[in-house]
Structure 1
Amino acid sequence: MAKPIILSIDAMGGDAGPDMVIPGVALAVERRPDLRFLIYGDSSVIAPLIKAHPRLGAACELIHTDVVVRMDDKPSQALRAGRWKSSMWKAIEAVKTGQAMACVSAGNTGALMAMSRFCLRGLGDVQRPAIAAIWPTTRGESIVLDVGATVGADARQLVDFAVMGSAMASAVFDLERPKVGLLNVGVEEIKGVEQVKDAAKMLRAANLPGLDYVGFVEGDDIGRGTVDVVVTEGFAGNIALKTAEGTAKQIAQYLRQAMTRSLLAKLGYILARSAFDRLREKMDPRKVNGGVFLGLNGIVIKSHGGTDAEGFASAVELGYDMVVNDLMAKIAQGISNYHRAGGSLDLAVAEAGED
């Protein structure tokens, strides 16, 4: 029998809390029978929900916590009030102590990142963490990072993101040498801010064995799937993510309005229903729900707070895939390769190598 994969769950996170989280976890265990859970939260609320899902009840342990990190809490406030006692902290701590292999929460993003950094600490020489998102494209899926953890990353941090994103692409997409691009305002070498241009020089100089750096990519390349990994700093990445989510909702609304405008339009919808169903499936944000916190000594998955059970199940399954495909070992190997290739040297050395 396969060794069970144990995940810790912050059941109190998200807009709907346990009413969304527990059915989502139940869906995940139906699909992944080797999953086991440590579920943290208010047992008086959670226990009746678990009782409605017998298979989940047999696959989980419920640990009561009294404190809930609210969705509007400031990270510093949540860290002071929620440390040691909250469902969020306890779920993260389970990863630190080795009781769980990954943590999943739909809670306050800032608080989750602050607690994760405080509890798990940074990984090796990685200076700043990143949130990596799986992005649907016309060619399949890509990874985009950072989408909100580190605003204004410098060149060295962008290189770290490239290495970690490549490791994640290797784990998720089973790629030996993922294609990596730096998000920029143009593909020409003279364009962009200095941090991005310097990161490009460092990546070219390192010539890492597990990473195929292809150069600069632009915003429209994200949806095209031009590369497997798109690297950017958190401010631009978060705007790109929210813009894509908003555009998907906008297009869906346009389609609904167009298909109900007249009797002929309704008839056309009926005739093309299977095609519209495939489009809806492709654009469903729940299928790619879950951002991975990279650069920490442990795996933390952030689910969208406003998702439903199906979306939360996707985040849980993402955590499962990260564990099964040994994400932490792949990141550690990628960072090690980078430093062996001279990544610890300064930019001047990289520039000298280009002359």
Structure 2
Amino acid sequence: MPDRSLIALECRRNSLRDLRAVEHSLPEPEAGEALLAIEHVGFSANNVSYAARGEQLHFWRYFPAQDADWGRLPGWGFATVQTSRAAGLDTGERIYGYFPLASHVLVRPSDLNAGSFVDGAPHRADLEPVYNHYVRCTADRDWRSELEPLQALLKPLALQAYLLDDFLEEEQLFGAQQVLFSSPSSKSAWMTAILLAARARTRQGVRLIGMTTAGNLAHVRDLPCYDQVILGDQVGTLARVPTLYLDFSGSAAQRIAVHGYFIDQLEYSCIIGGAQPDMMGSGQFTAGLPGAVPNHFHTAPRVAKRTQDWGLPELSARFSEAWQRIHQTVNQDRRWMQIEAVRGVSPALAALAQAIDGRFDPQRAFMIGLTA
């Protein structure tokens, strides 16, 4: 394909398995705009989950396709400023943020400062601010070129893990003697477990237990952050001691089983923000359960609280420490994740097809780049 082309991967919005590559003329930045050349974008099972809820999450509005029936799959990744007509943003700068699976993207930098900018494109004005925020890598204390894949695939989820760990430590684990995780193979779950396992309270006898499916059993047992791993139907084999339930799956059946078994020994039941209720209706999935009333954990209120408590610079420094622990742990042991570099249009389409069809182990992830 010509060098002066923009290449993008798209899927049909109502049928994710229908994939294609499209080619358009490379846009020329107008005054106040910059053209970024996308180096690579992380893609894992999380991206598929988000795409399945694309309309609900306004997923397709960040990088709209020219054909309204199609959508451009986004993810976190890295790019270089190829052409800039935005004052203060230089050609050649390395940028981290939310990008389409494409060769280039046009942005309109606003709120530009030494460390970051916001894409002020009109079509993104009412979308979630976190996805419109771009980091200038040379000013990022956590950026390392060799760690870009881990940053793209894990750091967007690591903030939730850090804030949840911080909340549970503040509450002294609600007096629990064991912490039960649903969907322990998910990145959010095992990053939380990495941080919890480093806490003195956890090392002094609180057990971390993963409750998983048969297909993920071997992988989760291989992860060193859990003291015990069981199948979802083996809740009744656990000791009835004060228990904290961290619900990363949103499974109503699992929630009913956990509450029904532990009853008064369930000290706290926490539904993590990304988990979605299934088959019980949005107004019913927490009603009438024995034991602790399920509570939702969302990152935004916790960020607001800790910003007020500590100030943003201190919150950022503490999160940076947690991120260092996570990426050092994962980088030293490939049992956590197997990251495959995928370059070129045809290999990228094949990788996406694997992920969307469910032929995708939880520890696998791709870093996708479309240019050679």
Task: Normalising by structure 1, report the TM-score.
Answer: 0.33
| Structure with the larger RCO, 1 or 2 (CA within 8 Å, 6+ apart) | 1
Which is strand-richer, 1 or 2?
Answer: 2
